[in-house]
Amino acid sequence: MLEIRHAYKTFFPGTINEKIALSDLNLSIEDGEFVTVIGGNGAGKSTMLNIIAGSLTVDSGQIIVDDQDITRLPEYKRAANFGRVFQDPMMGTAPTMQIDENLAIAARRGEIRGLKWGIDKEERERYKELLKEFDLGLEERLSAKVGLLSGGQRQALTLLMATLKKPKLLLLDEHTAALDPKTAQKVLDITDKIVEKSKLTTFMVTHNMRDAIRHGNRLLMLNEGKIILDIKGEEKQKMTVEKLINRFEKASGEEFANDAAILG
C-alpha cells in the first residue's frame, strides 16, 4: 500500500547546523496494518510522516502509494490519500470556522471544490450522529467556532475530519502528546474505535512505549533516521516494555537512555 524506498532527508546540509533526519529509510506497509512508531527525540518520526504527507520533500528516494510514485507531488494533491492529525491541536482545524464547516471541508478532501453550497442539511445531520459517538457534547455545538474548543475536543474533531473521507492511510503524529492523561486516553480510545470501524491502515507516532505496545499490530522503532526495530504479528502481541528496551539496546548497540517520556 505504502512504500518508502531509500529516503534521505538532511536539514541545513553542509552547514554547522546540519541535521540528518532520515538516512536510507526503507519501509513497506500493507493494507490494514496499524503501525505504531516510537523513537527518541529527533529520531526522525515526524520527518517520516512529513515526507509521506508531502509537507517535506525527500532529498532522494521514492515514496509510492498503491503503485503510484508520489515523491514529487505537492502536499495538497497527496492529501486525497491521507488523513492527518498533528501533535499541536491548533494545527488540524480552522479556528475561525464552525465545527460543521470544518467537517464539510474535510468531507471534500481530494475532490474538486466548485460553486455548490459548501455544506448541506443532510451532511449536518450525519456529522451530528458521528460526533454523538464521541460523547464530548460537540453534537449540540455544530455551529460553534472551533477556536472555542478545548485541545482534546479539537483532536477528536481533527480525527473525525481525517477519517470522514476514508483515507488510504491515517497519519497520527503524537496526537495525544499535548493533552492531559485522561483526555489523551479518551482520544486514544476514539482513535481505536475509528480505526477499527473503518478498517483503516494507520501510522501512529507516540512517545509512550506502553501505548505503542498496546495499540496496533506492528511496531517500528526509529533511531537516527533509520528503522532499527520492526516487530509484527505474535511477537508484537507478546511484547512488553522490558523486552522492547532489551531489543532496542541490541539493535542500536547503545545503552537505553532511561527517558521517562519514552517509558511513559
Partner 1 sequence: MTLLNALPGAISQGMLWGIMAIGLYITFRVINISDLTVDGSLATGGAVCVMLVRSGLNVWIAILLAALVGMLTGLATGLLHTKCGIPAILSGILTQLALYSVNLRIMDSKANQPVSVDKYHLLVSQRYVRELSLRNPLILLSVIIIVLIGLLYWFFGTEKGSSIRATGANLNMAKAQGINTEANINLSLVISNSLVAFAGALLAQFQGAADVSMGRGAIVIGLAAIIIGEVLFSKIFVNFALKLFSVVIGAILYYIVLQIILLMGLNTNDLKLFSALIVAVFLSVPYFKEKHFRKPVIPGKGGN
Measured between its terminal Cα atoms, the distance across the chain in Å is 31
Those residues with Cβ within 8 angstroms of residue 42's Cβ, 6 or more apart along the chain or in another chain: 19, 21
> Smaller CB distance to Mg ion: residue 46 or 153?
46
| Minimum distance of Mg ion from residue 115's CB (angstroms) | 39
Cβ proximity of 82 and 168 under 8 Å: yes
**Residues 51-56: contacts with CB within 8 Å, 24+ apart?**
51/4, 51/7, 51/9, 51/22, 52/2, 52/4, 52/82, 52/169, 52/171, 52/203, 53/78, 53/79, 53/82, 53/84, 53/171, 54/78, 54/79, 56/9
| Residue 104 interacts with which of partner 1, Mg ion, ligand ATP, none, CB < 5 to 8 Å by class | partner 1
In whole angstroms, how close is the CB of 7 to ligand ATP at the nearest point?
A: 12
Question: Which of partner 1, Mg ion, ligand ATP, none binds 96 (CB below 5-8 Å, type-dependent)?
Answer: partner 1
Q: Is 38 in the site for partner 1 (CB under 8 A)?
A: no
| Contact status: 85 vs ligand ATP (CB under 6 A) | no
Helix axes 151-164, 99-107, angle to 10 degrees: 30
Q: Which residue from 23, 42, 59, 75 is in contact with partner 1, where contact means CB under 8 A?
A: 75
160 near ligand ATP (CB under 6 A): no
Distance CA 183, CA 177 (A): 10
Give the SS3 label for residue 119: coil
> Mask: binding to Mg ion, 14-53, rule CB under 5 A, as x and -?
--------------------------------x-------
Phi then psi for 221, rounded to 5 degrees? -120, 130
The grid cell for 164 is: 470522514
Rg from Cα positions in the chain:
19
- Closest approach, Cβ 225 to Mg ion, in A, equals 13
Among 2-10, 14-22, 100-108, 221-229, the segment contacting partner 1 (CB under 8 A)? 100-108
Q: How far apart are CA 89 and CA 158, in angstroms?
A: 8
30: helix, coil or strand? Answer: coil
Site membership for partner 1, residue 181 (CB under 8 A): no
- Locate 264 and state its grid cell: 511513559
Work out how close the CB of 244 gets to partner 1 at its nearest, in angstroms, rounded to a whole number. Answer: 30
* Residues β-bridged to residue 85: 172
Q: Quick check: 47 binds ligand ATP (CB under 6 A)?
A: yes
Q: Determine, following the binding rule CB under 8 A, whether residue 182 of this chain makes contact with partner 1.
A: yes
Q: Which does 11 bind (CB under 5 to 8 A by kind): Mg ion, ligand ATP, partner 1, none?
A: ligand ATP
Where on the chain is the footprint of ligand ATP (CB under 6 A)?
11, 19, 21, 39, 41-47
Where on the chain is the footprint of Mg ion (CB under 5 A)?
46
Where on the chain is the footprint of partner 1 (CB under 8 A)?
53, 55, 75-77, 79-80, 82, 84, 86, 90-97, 101-102, 104-106, 108-111, 113-119, 136-137, 149-153, 156, 161-162, 180, 182-183, 186
